[in-house]
A and B are shown apart, each in its own frame.
Chain A
Amino acid sequence: MATRIFGSSIKRREDPKLITGEAQYLEDIQLHGMVHAAVLRSPYAHANIRSINVEEAKAVDGVIGVFTGKDFEELPALPCAWQAGGVDNNANTPRVLEIERVTFTGAAVAVVVAENRYIAQDAVGLIEVDYEPLPVVVDAEEASQKGAPQLHENAPGNICMDWACGQEEGTEAALEEADVVVKQRIKNQRLIPTPLEPRGAIAQYSPASEEYTVWMTSQAPHVMRLLMTAFVFGIPETKMRVISPHVGGGFGSKIFLYPEYCLVAALAKKVGRPIKWMETRGENYVATTHGRDHISDIEVGVKRDGTVTALKVKTYANLGGILSTIAPGIPTTLYGRMLSGVYKIPNIYCQVLGVYTNTAMVDAYRGAGRPEATYLVERVMDLVANELKMDPSELRRKNFIPADAFPYEPADDILAGLKYDSGNYEAVLDRALEVTDYKAFRQEQEKARESGRYLGVGFSSYIEVCGVAPSAWVGVGGQGWGAGLWESANVRVHLTGQVVVTTGTQPHGQGHETTVAQVVADELGIPFEDVIVQHSDTLGTPFGYGTYGSRSAAVGAVAVYNSLQRIKDKAKLIGAHMLEASIDDVIYEDGKVHVKGAPTESKTIQEIAGQAALAYDLPEGMEAFLDDTAYYDPPNCTFPFGTHMCMVEVDRHTGQVDIQRYVAVDDVGRVINPMIVDGQVHGGIAQGVAQALWEHGVYDESGQLVSGSLLDYAIPKASFLPSFELDRTETPSPVNPLGVKGAGEAGTIASTPAVVNAVMDALSPLGITHIDMPLTAERVWQAVQQNGNGG
Chain B
Amino acid sequence: MYPFNFEYHKASSVSEAISLLNQHDGAKVLAGGHSLIPAMKLRLSDPGVLIDIGKIDDLHGINASKGAVTIGGLTTHSDLAASIVVPIGLSETAGTVGDQQVRNRGTIGGSVVHADPAADLPTMLVALRASFHISGPTGNRTVSAEDFFTGMFETDLEDGEILTAVEVADEQSGTGSAYSKLFNPASGYAMVGVAAVVTVASGKCTEASVVLGGLTPSVMVASSVADSLVGVKLEETSIAAAAEAVQNDLGSDVLGDIHASADYRRAMAPVYVRRAVAAAVERAG
CB distance from A751 to the nearest CB of B (A): 17
When the two chains form their complex, are residues B258 and A707 in contact, meaning their CB atoms are under 8 A apart? yes
Judge if A698 is at the interface, Cβ distance under 8 Å: yes
A60-83 interface (Cβ within 8 A of B) = none
Known contacts being A694-B185, A781-B264, is A712 close to B1, with CB within 8 Å? no
A612-653 interface (Cβ within 8 A of B) = 653
Known contacts being A776-B259, A778-B260, is A118 close to B186, with CB within 8 Å? no
Judge if A717 is at the interface, Cβ distance under 8 Å: yes
CB distance from A694 to the nearest CB of B (A): 5
When the two chains form their complex, are residues A118 and B5 in contact, meaning their CB atoms are under 8 A apart? yes
How many residues on chain A are close to B (CB under 8 Å)? 30
**17 A-B pairs in the complex with CB atoms less than 8 angstroms apart:** A118-B3, A122-B4, A125-B43, A282-B1, A282-B42, A654-B182, A654-B268, A654-B271, A698-B258, A710-B186, A712-B257, A712-B259, A714-B184, A714-B259, A715-B186, A778-B261, A781-B264
Q: Which residues of A contact B185 (CB under 8 A)?
A: 693-694, 714, 720, 776
A109-147 interface (Cβ within 8 A of B) = 117-118, 121-122, 125
The 3 nearest A-B residue pairs measured at CB: A280-B1, A714-B186, A714-B185
When the two chains form their complex, are residues A781 and B187 in contact, meaning their CB atoms are under 8 A apart? no
CB distance from A508 to the nearest CB of B (A): 22
Q: Which residue of A lies closest to B2 (CB)?
A: A121
Known contacts being A118-B5, A282-B42, A717-B99, is A711 close to B186, with CB within 8 Å? yes
Q: In the complex the two chains form, what is the Cα distance from A707 to B258 in whole Å?
A: 8
Mask: chain B, 134-153; 1 = CB below 8 Å from A; 0 = not: 00000000000000000000
Known contacts being A282-B42, A653-B271, is A713 close to B186, with CB within 8 Å? yes
CB distance from A272 to the nearest CB of B (A): 24
Judge if A696 is at the interface, Cβ distance under 8 Å: yes
Q: Which residues of B contact A125 (CB under 8 A)?
A: 43
Q: Which residue of A lies closest to B270 (CB)?
A: A653
Judge if B267 is at the interface, Cβ distance under 8 Å: yes
Known contacts being A710-B186, A781-B264, is A281 close to B259, with CB within 8 Å? no
Judge if A706 is at the interface, Cβ distance under 8 Å: yes
CB distance from B204 to the nearest CB of A (A): 26
Q: In the complex the two chains form, what is the Cα distance from A693 to B260 in whole Å?
A: 14
Q: Which residue of B lies closest to A117 (CB)?
A: B2
Q: Which residue of A lies closest to B1 (CB)?
A: A280
A748-788 interface (Cβ within 8 A of B) = 776-778, 781-782
Q: Which residues of B contact A714 (CB under 8 A)?
A: 184-186, 259
Binding site for B on A (CB under 8 A): 117-118, 121-122, 125, 280-282, 653-654, 693-694, 696, 698, 706-707, 710-715, 717, 719-720, 776-778, 781-782
Q: Which residues of B contact A654 (CB under 8 A)?
A: 182, 268, 271
Mask: chain B, 254-279; 1 = CB below 8 Å from A; 0 = not: 00011111001001100100000000
Q: Which residues of A contact B187 (CB under 8 A)?
A: 710-712
When the two chains form their complex, are residues A777 and B260 in contact, meaning their CB atoms are under 8 A apart? yes
- Pick the contact of B1: A281, A776, A778 (CB < 8 A): A281
B157-205 interface (Cβ within 8 A of A) = 182, 184-188
Q: In the complex the two chains form, what is the Cα distance from A281 to B5 in whole Å?
A: 20
Q: In the complex the two chains form, what is the Cα distance from A704 to B42 in whole Å?
A: 17
Binding site for A on B (CB under 8 A): 1-5, 42-43, 99, 182, 184-188, 257-261, 264, 267-268, 271
CB distance from B265 to the nearest CB of A (A): 9
Q: Which residues of B contact A121 (CB under 8 A)?
A: 2
Q: Which residue of B lies closest to A125 (CB)?
A: B43
Q: Which residue of B lies closest to A698 (CB)?
A: B258
Q: Which residue of B lies closest to A717 (CB)?
A: B99
CB distance from A41 to the nearest CB of B (A): 13
Q: In the complex the two chains form, what is the Cα distance from A782 to B182 in whole Å?
A: 16
Q: Which of A281, A698, A777 neighbours the largest number of chain B CB atoms within 10 Å of its CB?
A: A777
Given A122-B4, A777-B182, 17 new contacts (CB under 8 A): A117-B2, A118-B3, A118-B5, A122-B5, A698-B258, A710-B186, A712-B257, A712-B258, A713-B186, A717-B99, A717-B188, A719-B99, A776-B259, A777-B260, A778-B259, A778-B264, A782-B264
Q: Which residues of B contact A693 (CB under 8 A)?
A: 185
Q: Which residues of A contact B2 (CB under 8 A)?
A: 117-118, 121, 280
Q: Which residues of A contact B42 (CB under 8 A)?
A: 282
CB distance from B190 to the nearest CB of A (A): 13
Q: Which residues of B contact A711 (CB under 8 A)?
A: 186-187
Q: In the complex the two chains form, what is the Cα distance from A348 to B139 in whole Å?
A: 79
Q: Which residues of B contact A281 (CB under 8 A)?
A: 1
Q: In the complex the two chains form, what is the Cα distance from A654 to B274 in whole Å?
A: 12
Known contacts being A122-B4, A711-B187, A777-B182, is A696 close to B258, with CB within 8 Å? yes
When the two chains form their complex, are residues B4 and A712 in contact, meaning their CB atoms are under 8 A apart? no
When the two chains form their complex, are residues A712 and B186 in contact, meaning their CB atoms are under 8 A apart? yes
Q: Which of B3, B43, B186 neighbours the largest number of chain A CB atoms within 10 Å of its CB?
A: B186
CB distance from A171 to the nearest CB of B (A): 37
Q: In the complex the two chains form, what is the Cα distance from A117 to B4 in whole Å?
A: 11
Q: Which residue of B lies closest to A700 (CB)?
A: B258
Q: In the complex the two chains form, what is the Cα distance from A710 to B41 in whole Å?
A: 14
CB distance from A36 to the nearest CB of B (A): 10
Q: Which residues of B contact A717 (CB under 8 A)?
A: 99, 188
Q: Which residue of B lies closest to A720 (CB)?
A: B185
Q: Which residue of B lies closest to A278 (CB)?
A: B1
CB distance from A63 to the nearest CB of B (A): 15
Q: Which residues of A contact B261 (CB under 8 A)?
A: 778
Q: Which residues of B contact A719 (CB under 8 A)?
A: 99
Q: Which residue of A lies closest to B99 (CB)?
A: A717
Q: In the complex the two chains form, what is the Cα distance from A280 to B1 in whole Å?
A: 6
When the two chains form their complex, are residues B258 and A781 in contact, meaning their CB atoms are under 8 A apart? no
CB distance from B247 to the nearest CB of A (A): 15
Q: Which residues of A contact B186 (CB under 8 A)?
A: 694, 707, 710-715
Q: In the complex the two chains form, what is the Cα distance from A281 to B41 in whole Å?
A: 11
When the two chains form their complex, are residues B99 and A781 in contact, meaning their CB atoms are under 8 A apart? no
Q: Which residues of A contact B4 (CB under 8 A)?
A: 122
CB distance from A160 to the nearest CB of B (A): 28
Q: Which residue of A lies closest to B118 (CB)?
A: A711
Q: Which residues of B contact A694 (CB under 8 A)?
A: 185-186
Q: In the complex the two chains form, what is the Cα distance from A96 to B271 in whole Å?
A: 53
Q: Which residues of A contact B5 (CB under 8 A)?
A: 118, 122
Q: Which residue of B lies closest to A280 (CB)?
A: B1
Q: Which residues of B contact A782 (CB under 8 A)?
A: 264
CB distance from A506 to the nearest CB of B (A): 27
CB distance from B69 to the nearest CB of A (A): 28
Q: In the complex the two chains form, what is the Cα distance from A433 to B87 in whole Å?
A: 47
CB distance from B45 to the nearest CB of A (A): 15
CB distance from B35 to the nearest CB of A (A): 11
Q: Which residue of B lies closest to A785 (CB)?
A: B267
Q: In the complex the two chains form, what is the Cα distance from A719 to B99 in whole Å?
A: 9
Q: In the complex the two chains form, what is the Cα distance from A788 to B186 in whole Å?
A: 29
Q: Which residue of B lies closest to A711 (CB)?
A: B187
Q: Which residues of A contact B260 (CB under 8 A)?
A: 776-778
CB distance from A687 to the nearest CB of B (A): 14
Q: Which residue of B lies closest to A124 (CB)?
A: B2
